[in-house]
Each structure stands twice: as structure tokens, then as C-alpha cells.
Amino acid sequence: MDYIKKNKNESQKETIAIHLHENIEKVKQTLGNSTDLIISELRIGENGTKKAAIIYTDGLVDTKTIHNFMEPFMIRAREIEPGKGMDTPQEILRFMEDMTVTVGSIKEITDFSSLFKSVLSGDTVFLLDGLDRGIVASTRGWEDRGVSETSIESVVRGPRESFTETLRTNTSLIRRRIKDPHLWMETIQIGQVTQTDVSIMYIKGIVNDKVLKEVRERLNRINIDGILESGNIEEMIQDETFTPFPTMYNTERPDVASAGLMEGRVAIIVDGTPIVLLVPVVFTQFFQASEDYYNRSDFGAMRALRVVAFLLSLLAPSFYIAVTTFHQEMLPTSLLINLATQREGVPFPAFIEAMFMEFTFEILREAGIRMPRMIGPAISIVGALVIGEAAVQAGLVTPAMIIVVSITAISNFVFPAIAMSIPIRFLRFGLMGAAAAYGIYGIFIGLVAIYLHLCSLRSFGVPYMSPMAPFNLSDQKDTLFRFPLWAMRTRPRLISQKNKVREQTQNPEPGENRP
Amino acid sequence: MELAIVVGIGIDKKENEYVVSSQVVIPSEAGGQKASPIGYAPTTKFVASAPTIIEAFRKMTTISPRRMYTSHVRILVIGEEVAEEGLQDVLDYFYRDRTFRLDFYVVIARKTKAENILSIFTKLEKIPSVSLFTSLATSEKTYSNARGVHLDELINTMVSPGKNPVLTGLTIIGDETQGETKDNIQRITPHTRLKISTLGVLKKDKLVGWLSDKESRGFNFITGQVMGSVGDVVLPSGGKVAVEAFRSEAHMKSRIRRGEPEMEIKILTEGDIAEVDGSIDLMEQKNIQMLENLLEQRIKHLAESAIEKGQTKLKSDIFGFGEVIHRQHPKIWNKLQKNWAEDFVDVPVRIKVDAKLRRTGKVLDSFIEELNKK
């Protein structure tokens, strides 16, 4: 860090010199003569008396753009006769600025720090001998993945596009959906080494200004060497570190981000990652799939199913442990005898058995993500054998336990937002311990603790459990069930505190002139 | 789950000690699809005797490797001798201990010891106690000669001054010792079976006698407990028609005439024609009415025989007349209460039956009609 700081301070002071060769020497020295740095020296003007150089980083620039820009410049610069406006460096600069139509933008720089930033971001710098300024042409263009289909948050009905690693592509994906002039964007660079572009997008007039101010402040507070993913940003600015629950929403879907913006949220887009952050977030948001809004409103009842799956995923193993160790009287007699038959000969208590199976599954799941793709099929064979038949036949676990683990595992994937499945995975183990020690009493103590914790959370000032706690009747239209769109007339109250009315469509009815 | 799941408990008395027997499920034999190749008995029986019941249970751990787990008791069998001596000392433990679920049936072992009831192999349901529990529940719903009585109901009626309890009896048919071997269930017709018998009548907490099958059904009609029953009526033209009652209600009313109580019982029954063994034209409305009248007489007869037995022979108010008077004429009940046990015997009882026939099954007239024409 110290080394970086020192360097930075030095280059900030230095301004571009009047002699070209000094400047080139300086660039070469600072960048360590890196091989991807291209410095091509040219001669322009009458008889090539004026020396000039263009500097850019190979791979970050679109060479076609440079050609399109430089070619006509060079040709026309030769055509102009001496004494007709191409003699002094100032005149050349003006001439150049007149030709900006062919490239995106052109600006002047005077110091080396902006020169390096431009060169390393993919811009091309034009230096002219005798001029203590540089000209930056925007020529960014590098290999990227292109907009591809969503891989995490897939839907049956709805757009397939997902964000990419390029910031500009991502903002364009949002712009293409919201063509309002009030969709504003601010960009800052975070990371002293990485100089990562971080943009915040919001719709002026809908966004809660206090939240916006808070986001800006928190982003400005970050002082770190590098930001490689939006997760880095999230960790630096989230409200609460010691909670299993995410206090920021992340998505790879432009439509989800746009919907968030229209509800008054702020999107934080980080260059180099397809994951966009949305703040503030509430608990219920993790149960809302984008598809809920694209299908007819009765499909929104799926959310109730997701809540059931949430509880199953959180509680199924602990409930099984509690009932089989402490509360056998809760079961119907025939079921108890059935379970007792299965447990006959199993050497471990239900808790150990459940822990064993849950751990096995978690290992399989982790391995499934991390493992090279070619070995993929192997894990399904091993997984099916270990979790399934073999464990039972070896007499280590009961078949009922397998069912419990399977339903737990599969319920964990029901959430539209994968961020919510992580806290459940953690809390599940805690609750299993509580169930093994105190039975259902323990589970309830655990649940009460979780609930209290959830109520104490805030995301950028908005209570995490709203609109349930604090309760808001109107916002219930978009929690457990989704009301028809024409019924959801207002935006979530705590998210956007002004400009509440979202739409005023009439309840659709057959018209007077129906056939 | 290292538990011995007790499904049935039997209580007998020997000298001054209780002999407590518990039927414990052997999970590897009783449950699941995998039948054990060895084929042990699905349950086992632990017997211990002690001055108190809880002590007997604790004593059982000296012969059982696992703790007795009594939350899943399906049936509590009380030996006939114990029942005759009185149940008050027996039931407290079951009512007090928190592990009991109170949804098990209390029955009396008739003409045998409770211990023996718990030693018989049963078919269809592997676990004898579960077999008894379901068989009692089924016969209660389809034949109504028995009553499944839960512990809390039993205690409530026991302490009520205006009502005495009944308990269903259980008998063993066939040879008791043969029923204890696996051989019993390997045959199509087992040597020995357990049978739901009729109702035993208690006076306070003591068993005083038994109702017959007919009287038991009459009793259930009077108390409105019939959920399904079958009876036949004899046609004037010869032949029989069987009727399946599927709904029955009873309303008891008390009336005071010159300071003396009178009971009026109204029984409302709905039924279907289930079987016709004779010649009758069911298309005729008046024939249906005639059948209804015959049915009413028949039910009335059943009910009267139950009242007769209860009042004159056993002298026990199992019908709850006292409770009805208490509810409807509380002031007079205060006077009657003291001598109710004696006065009950002389209470005049009038029975009115209203029977309705609803459906005739898949056919109207019996094919016998056509058979006879040719």
C-alpha cells in the first residue's frame, strides 16, 4: 500500500512536459516498459516535421476505432498546406478536436495520473511534441463475454438476458428498459490499485434521497486496494456484518434491477462482474421471483409455497430430531412403530445421524460447484450412492432420514434469490443442535431468536422485516401473494417515500362495445 | 429412540398387589415392509407385581432392557376381578402421569385375566393392542354393540352423581394357551381370537354386570351413540328386511309430575334398506311406512330391554338420567341427588322412536319377487 501511495502522489504532481521524448520516457519508465503498452511515434505536419505519439494498451482498445480516427487525420493533415492552420501545436489540437465525430469523445489532459488512468482503461492518448497537454480519445473495446442467458435466476416466462462483466453493457441493458431522462447514473472509481468503475443508478424523483445520500457516503468511505466483485463492495457497505442474512439484494437480471429502480431502489453496478447490487432490501424480496410479475397474478400464490419450503429447509431435520428424541407421543402410533423399526440397529442417535447426512449433502453440494465440469457426472453417482442406498444398507442412517435430508436439500433451492439459501444452511445446523438438546422447546427458542434478530436488521435505514414489521396493509399486496398489477397502485412505502402512486390503470372489465 | 413402546397395559390383582402386564412392540418384527426372517412375536409382554402401578412399571425395567414408554398405549385392559372390586385405585396413575395421551380405550377382560388378553397373537393387525383398538373403533361405527370409552370420559362419568359408566368387555374365544404361540396366526382359522364383547355396567367404579348384545345396542340407541348399526324386521308376510342405520340421534327429556321425575327419550334414526329376504313391494310408499313402523318398534324394543336391565336388574344409571334432570330441573335434582341410586330404579321411562328409511340400495324390489312370479 505504501508503495502504491507514494507512486500515486508522485505522478499526480507531475504534469505533461513540453518535449515529447521526455513524456515517452516517463510513460515507459512508470509502466515498467510493459509489453502490452503500445507507443507508436509518428510524424505529421509538413514534411513530417512535427513529432507525435499515440499511446494505448493492447487488448483494451478497439484498434478499428484508432484506425478510423487516425487515418483521416493523417491524410488530411498532409493535405493542408503550411501556414493554413497546422503549424503550431495549438492549431493541430483544434484541428483534431474538429474531427471528433469519428470517435466517442475527446478530452484534454495535463497530468500523468490522468494519462495513465486513460491508457489503462483502454483509451488512446495522443501526445504532440511542443504541447504540454495530451489528447485522450475514447477507444475502449475489449473482448467480453457478450450478453448471455441467465444462469442463476432462470425463469420460464420472462427475458433471458443477464448482465455481463462489462459495466457499460450492464448500464445499457438497464437503459434499454428505462428510457426515462430521470434515470441518473453516477460513477466513481474505487480501489487504489484496481481503479474499478462503480456506478450507482437510480431514478431521480422516485428514489429516496436519504438512501441515495447514504449509498454515496458509504461508497466514498471505502479505501481499499482492490474491488474485484460486487461482493467486495457489499461487504464494505452493508449495514450488519454479523448476521447470516443478506442486507443487500444481488441479481444478474436486468429486468429485476430495472424493477428495483422503479420501486425506488438504488442499483450499484460494479465493473468486472455480472452481479448487480440493489439497496435497500427487505426480507420478503428474497421470496419474490421476477416471474411472479410476468405470469398471471394467481401464480403469485407460489410465494406461499416458497415460505413453506423456507420453513421446511430450515426446520425439517431439527423437527425430525426433536420428535424422534423427545416427543414421540406426537406421532401416530403406527408411524412411531414404523420409525422405530427403521431406527432398530442404527448405532447413532438421531442428531448424529442427521448431522452426518446434512454434512454429507453440504460436502456434495460444495464439491458440485467447485469441481471441474468434466468430473461432473461422477459426483452424481457418488452422491446418489452415498446419500441413498449405501448409507441405508450399511445401517448408518434410516430411510426416513434420507427423505428428511432430501426434502431439506431440495427446498433450499426454491428461493428465487440464492442469497437467502445461505443463511438457512447455517441456521439449520444451529436449530438441529437446539433440537437435540431441548426438543421442540429448543427449536422455538431458536426461532424466536432468529425472528428477533430479523426484526433488528435494517438495510440502508429500512426495517428488514417491513412491511410485516412495521406492518403496512397496502404493501401486503406484494408479500405472501401477489395482487393483480392493477391493484398494486402504490410503490412500497418505505422504499420510496415520495411519489407513491405507481399506476392508475382501471380494473380491467369488458368494455361497452364488446362483440 | 431407545424405548420400549408400550401399546397395551393389563391390570390384575393378586393378593394385595397389582399385577401389571405391558404389551411392548418389537419394532423389527412389527413394523415396516421387511418381515424378519426369524419371525419372532411382534410384541412381548412384561409382567411385574407391586403394591402400586407405577412401582410395577419401574420394576419392569429389571427384566426389560429399555425404558417403558407409555405415550402410545392403545388399550388399557382391566381384569374382571379388579373391575368388580373397584377401579378407583387403579385409574389415578393413568390420569396423573403426563406420558399418557388419554386417547386409549379402557376395556374389561371378561371371564379371563387382563394378562391373558395381552398374550394372544392376532391377524391382520400384527400388534394385538392395535388390533383391539381398531376393531373396537370399527365395531363402534358399524355395529354399535360396544363403546370405546376413553379414560377421561370414564373418570368424568364415574364422578358424576347422575351417571354411571359402561366399559366394553373383551373375551378370548378358543383356547388361551394355543393363542400364545405363533402357530395361532399361521392358520387360516386361528385357534384363538380376541372378541369385542358387550358392555359391562359399572356402578360408580365397580362392575356390577353385563348387558347382552341386544341390550348394548339398545343402550347405544338411547344415548345417541349409534354411528352405524344393522337390524332386521320381520315382515307380516314372512321374510325379513335388514336395515342399516347410518345416523341416529337421541333426545332425553325429564318431566316432573307431582314431584316425581319422568323420563322421555326420543330416538331419531335414519337408515337404508340393506337386505330384503322376502316379498315386499318397495315402490309402494305405504310399504316403506310399514317398514319404518316395524323398525321403530324394533328399536323401541331394544331400548326398552336396555332400560329394563339397567333399572331392575343392575340398578345403575348408565343412561345419565340423573344428569338430564340435573340440567333440566336443577332444583329438584338437589333433592333427588341423595337417594338417586335407589330412586332411579322407579323412574318411569317413555320411549319414542322416529325411524326414516332413505334409500333402498341399488335395486328397488328384490329379485325374489320375480322368482316367485314364474
How many Cα neighbours within 13 Å face the side chain of A130? 13
How do strand B43-50 and strand B17-25 relate by DSSP bridges?
antiparallel
Percentage of chain A exceeding pLDDT 90 = 39
Q: Do B28 and A341 touch (CB under 8 A)?
A: yes
How far is residue A250 from each of residues A48, A188, A247, B212, measured CA to CA in Å? 55, 20, 10, 76
B158-214 tens-digit pLDDT: 999 889 999 999 999 988 888 888 888 888 888 888 889 889 999 988 999 999 999
pLDDT of amino acid A190: 92
Greater confidence (B224 vs A67) lies with B224
CB A153 within 8 A of CB A417: yes
Report phi then psi at B46, rounded to 5. Answer: -110, 135
The CATH fold assigned to B214-373 is: GMP Synthetase; Chain A, domain 3 (3.30.300)
Contact at CB, B32 and A342, closer than 8 angstroms: yes
pLDDT of residue A84: 64
- Identify whether residues A392 and A445 lie together within a single domain: yes
Pick the most confident of A121-125, A447-451, B332-336: A447-451
A275 and A311 both lie in a single domain: no
Q: Which has more confidence, A267 or B98?
A: A267
pLDDT band at B106 (very low <50, low <70, confident <90, very high): very high
Q: What DSSP element (H or E) covers A331?
A: none
More confident residue, A511 or B72: B72
Q: So what's the pLDDT on residue B34?
A: 58
A411 bridge partner residues:
none
Mean pLDDT rounded to a whole number for chain B = 89
All cell numbers assigned to A237: 457497505
The pLDDT score that the predictor gives to residue A130 is 80
Q: How confident is the model at residue A389 (pLDDT cuts 50, 70, 90)?
A: confident
Gap between the Cα atoms of A117 and B119, Å rounded: 92
From the candidates A335, A341, A351, which should be mutated to test the interface with B, based on the most B CB atoms within 10 A? A341
User: A467 vs A361, A471, A497, B24, B115, CA distance in Å?
Assistant: 35, 5, 14, 53, 62
Q: Chain centroid to CA A413: how far?
A: 19
**Chain-chain contact of A336 with B74 (C-beta, under 8 angstroms):** no
Q: List residues of chain B with CB under 8 Å from any CB of chain A.
A: 1, 3, 5, 7, 25, 27-28, 30-32, 69, 71-72, 74, 99, 101, 127, 130
Q: What is the pLDDT of residues A392-416, one digit of tens each?
A: 888 888 889 989 998 999 998 888 8
Q: How far apart are the first and last CA of chain B?
A: 70
Per-domain residue ranges of chain B: 3-210, 214-373
Give which of B179, B235, B256 is closest to B368, Cα–Cα: B235
Å between A359 CA and nearest CA of chain B: 22
Contact A341 B30 (CB under 8 A): yes
Whether A305 and A271 map to the same domain: the answer is: no
Residue of A nearest to B129 (CA): A333
Q: Note whether A108 and A25 are same-domain residues.
A: yes
**In this model, does residue A278 exceed pLDDT 70?**
yes
pLDDT at site A69: 74
Yes or no, beta carbons of A343 and B28 under 8 Å apart:
no
Cβ pair A328:B72 closer than 8 A: yes
Which of B265, B260, B247, B248 is CA-nearest to residue B324? Answer: B265
Kindly list the strands in the beta sheet with B349-357, ordered across the sheet, starting from the edge strand earlier in the chain: B229-234, B240-257, B260-277, B349-357
∠A269-A271-A277 over CA atoms, to 5°?
25
| B214 and B305 Cβ atoms separated by less than 8 Å | yes
- Which residues of B fall within a CB distance of 8 Å from A343? 1, 27
| CA A187 to chain CA mean position, Å | 16
Across B209-242, b (16+ Cβ under 10 Å) vs e yields: bbbeebbbbbbbbbbbbbebbebbbebeeeeebe
| Contact status, residue A288 vs residue A303, Cβ threshold 8 Å | yes
Instruction: Convert the pLDDT of each residue in A63-85 to its tens digit.
Output: 888 887 777 777 776 666 666 66
Pick the closest to residue B209 from B311, B89, B313, B109 (CA basis): B313
Q: Does the residue A162 lie in any domain?
A: no
The one-character DSSP state at A37 is E
**pLDDT over 80 at A293, yes or no:** yes
Residue A290 lies in a domain: no
Q: What is the mean pLDDT of residues A118-123?
A: 88
- Measured between alpha carbons, how far is A222 from A514 in angstroms, rounded to an integer? 61
pLDDT at A390: 83
CA dist., res. B346 & res. B257, Å (int) = 13
A441, A462, A483 - which closes a domain: A462
Beta strand spans in chain B (E): 3-14, 17-25, 43-50, 67-69, 75-79, 105-109, 166-173, 193-203, 206-210, 229-234, 240-257, 260-277, 349-357
What was the pLDDT predicted at A104?
63
Smallest Cβ distance to A340: which of B5, B71, B99?
B5
CA–CA dist B285, B292 (Å, integer):
11
Task: In whole angstroms, give the CA distance from residue A135 to residue A110.
Answer: 9
Residue A400 and residue A443 in one domain: yes
Please give the distance of CA B31 from its chain centroid, rounded to a whole number.
28
Q: Which of B3, B31, B69 is opposite residue A341, by nearest beta carbon? A: B31
Cα B366 off chain centre by: 34
| Continuous H helices in B97-243 | 114-117, 128-142, 151-159, 183-186, 213-222
What does the buried/exposed string (b/e) look like for B153-188 if buried means 16 or more CB atoms within 10 Å of the residue's CB?
ebbebbeebbbbbbbbbbbbebebeebbeeebbeee
Distance to chain A for B363, nearest Cα, Å = 40
Residues A348 and A447 in one domain: yes
Nearest CA to B131 among B80, B90, B185? B185
Min CA distance, B59 vs chain A (Å)? 23
pLDDT reading at A6 higher than 60: no
At B174, list the grid cell. 378358543
Q: How far apart are CA A407 and CA B249, in angstroms?
A: 47
How many domains is chain A built from?
A: 3
> Are A329 and B130 in contact (CB < 8 Å)?
no
Digit-coded pLDDT (tens) for A20-32? 888 888 888 888 8
CB A250 within 8 A of CB A419: yes
**Domain identity same for A274 and A308:** no
Give residue-wise pLDDT tens across range A465-483. 988 888 988 888 888 888 8
Instruction: Give the pLDDT mean for B335-352.
Output: 90
- Contact between B31 and A340 using a beta-carbon 8 Å cutoff: yes
- A173 and A85 housed in the same domain: no
Average pLDDT, chain A: 86
Read off the C-alpha cell for B61: 425395567
CB B118 within 8 A of CB B130: no
Distance from C-alpha of B121 to C-alpha of B183, rounded to nearest angstrom: 9
Among residues A116, A137, A158, the one where a domain terminates is A137
Map residue A36 onto helix, strand or coil: coil
**What integer pLDDT is reported at residue B186 of this predicted model?**
82
Residues 6+ apart with CB under 8 A from A330: A323
Co-location of A319 and A437 in the same domain: yes
Tell me whether residue A513 is in a domain: no
Q: If you count DSSP H runs as helices and E runs as strands, how many of each does chain A have, helices first?
A: 17, 12
CA-to-CA dists, residue A327 to A338, B70, B101, angstroms: 15, 12, 12
Supply the pLDDT for residue A11.
47
The domain containing residue A56 runs over which residues?
11-137
Give B186 or B314, the one with higher predicted confidence: B314
If phi > 0 it is left, if psi is from -120 to 50 it is alpha, else beta; for residue A499 that is left
Neighbours of A245 (CB within 10 A): 21
Task: Note whether A96 and A23 are same-domain residues.
Answer: yes
Answer left, alpha or beta for residue A356, where phi above 0 means left and psi between -120 and 50 means alpha: alpha
Report pLDDT for B179. 82
Q: Which residue of A has its CA nearest to B126?
A: A334
Cβ proximity of B29 and B46 under 8 Å: no
| Exposed / middle / buried, residue A426 (Cβ in 10 Å: 0-12, 13-18, 19+) | exposed
* Distance (Å) from the alpha carbon of A318 to chain B's nearest alpha carbon: 15
The pLDDT assigned to B155 comes to 92
pLDDT tens-digit readout, A197-238: 999 999 999 999 999 999 999 999 999 999 999 999 999 999
User: Which chain A residues are closer than 8 Å to B1 by Cβ?
Assistant: 324-325, 328, 339-340, 343, 350
Å between A360 CA and nearest CA of chain B: 23
Q: Which residues of A touch B (CB under 8 A)?
A: 324-325, 328-329, 333-334, 336-345, 350
Q: Which of A440, A462, A484 is the last residue of a domain?
A: A462
The C-alpha cell that represents A24 in the structure block: 515517452
**Of all helices (H) and strands (E), which one includes residue A87?**
none
User: Does A379 share its domain with A269?
Assistant: no
Chain B residues close to A333, C-beta within 8 Å: 7, 72, 74, 130
CA-based angle B274:B280:B282, to the nearest 5? Answer: 65
**Structure confidence at residue B31 (pLDDT):** 67
Among A48-52, A174-178, B117-121, the range of highest mean pLDDT: A174-178
Q: How remote is the C-alpha of A82 from its chain's centroid? A: 56
pLDDT band at A1 (very low <50, low <70, confident <90, very high): very low
Residues from chain A contacting residue B28 (CB–CB below 8 Å): 341, 344-345
> Which residue in A324, A329, A334 is closest to B1 by CB distance?
A324
- Spell out which residues of chain B touch residue A345, defining contact as CB-CB under 8 Å: 28
Q: Do the domain assignments include residue A93?
A: yes
**B241 grid coordinates:** 328386511
Cβ atoms B29, B36 nearer than 8 A? yes
Distance CA B364, CA A305 (A): 50
Chain B residues whose CB is inside 8 A of the A340 CB are: 1, 3, 5, 25, 27, 31
CB contact under 8 A, A340 and B1: yes
- The pLDDT assigned to B51 comes to 93
Residue A151 belongs to some domain of the structure: no
Instruction: Count Cβ–Cβ pairs < 8 Å, chain A vs chain B.
Output: 48
What is the per-residue pLDDT across B108-144, written as a single tens digit (0 to 9) for each?
999 899 999 998 888 888 888 989 999 999 988 888 8
Choose among A434, A208, A440: nearest CA to A326: A440
CA distance B66 to chain A (A): 13
Collect all residues with Cβ–Cβ distance below 8 Å to A289 and sequence separation of at least 6.
Answer: A153, A155, A302, A416
Q: Do A329 and B101 touch (CB under 8 A)?
A: yes
Q: Which of B212, B205, B248 is nearest to B230 (CA)?
A: B248
Identify whether residues A379 and A251 lie together within a single domain. Answer: no
CB-nearest to B5 from A336, A342, A345 is A336
